[in-house]
Amino acid sequence: KQEVTQIPAALSVPEGENLVLNCSFTDSAIYNLQWFRQDPGKGLTSLLLIQSSQREQTSGRLNASLDKSSGRSTLYIAASQPGDSATYLCAVRPPPRMGGGTSYGKLTFGQGTILTVHP
C-alpha cells in the first residue's frame, strides 16, 4: 500500500526566505506526482505536475523535483511571501495495474506541510 509522508509538518519563515518542502513515498512505481496548495477551509489548487519520466517542473517561484527511484520529491519556493502561507500537499498517482485496471488518476496524499510566511 502506498504511503506518502511530508516533512516538516509545519514551517514558519520570515518573508523573503527560500524554502524547501519534502515529500516521500514508499512505492516508487508511480505514474506522476502532483503538488497542491490548500488555503484554510478551501479546496485544493494544483501547483505542479511531474510525470514519472521527468526530473523537475518549474512555475514562477516554484520548482518541484522528483527522484522516483528514491521515492522523494521536493517543492522549492523562492523568495517567499506572506501570500504563500497555506498548506502544501503532495500526492502520487499509481501506474495502471498489470493486465489493465481502472485506478487511473486516483491520488494518494501526504498529510501536508503548513507553511506560515510572516512579514
Partner 1 sequence: DTGVSQNPRHKITKRGQNVTFRCDPISEHNRLYWYRQTLGQGPEFLTYFQNEAQLEKSRLLSDRFSAERPKGSFSTLEIQRTEQGDSAMYLCASSQGTGVRNTEAFFGQGTRLTVV
Residues lying near partner 1 in the complex (CB under 8 A): 4, 31, 34, 36, 41-46, 49, 89, 91, 93, 95-96, 102-112
Q: Which is nearer to partner 1, 41 or 119 (CB)?
A: 41
Q: Give the 3-state secondary structure of residue 58.
A: strand
Could you tell me the sign of the dihedral formed by the alpha carbons of 21, 114, 88, 28, in that order? positive
Strands (E), the chain: 4-7, 10-14, 19-25, 32-38, 44-51, 56-59, 62-67, 72-77, 86-93, 108-109, 113-118
State the minimum distance, in angstroms, from the CB of residue 62 to partner 1. Answer: 14
State the minimum distance, in angstroms, from the CB of residue 71 to partner 1. Answer: 17
Q: Which is nearer to partner 1, 40 or 119 (CB)?
A: 40
State the minimum distance, in angstroms, from the CB of residue 72 to partner 1. Answer: 17
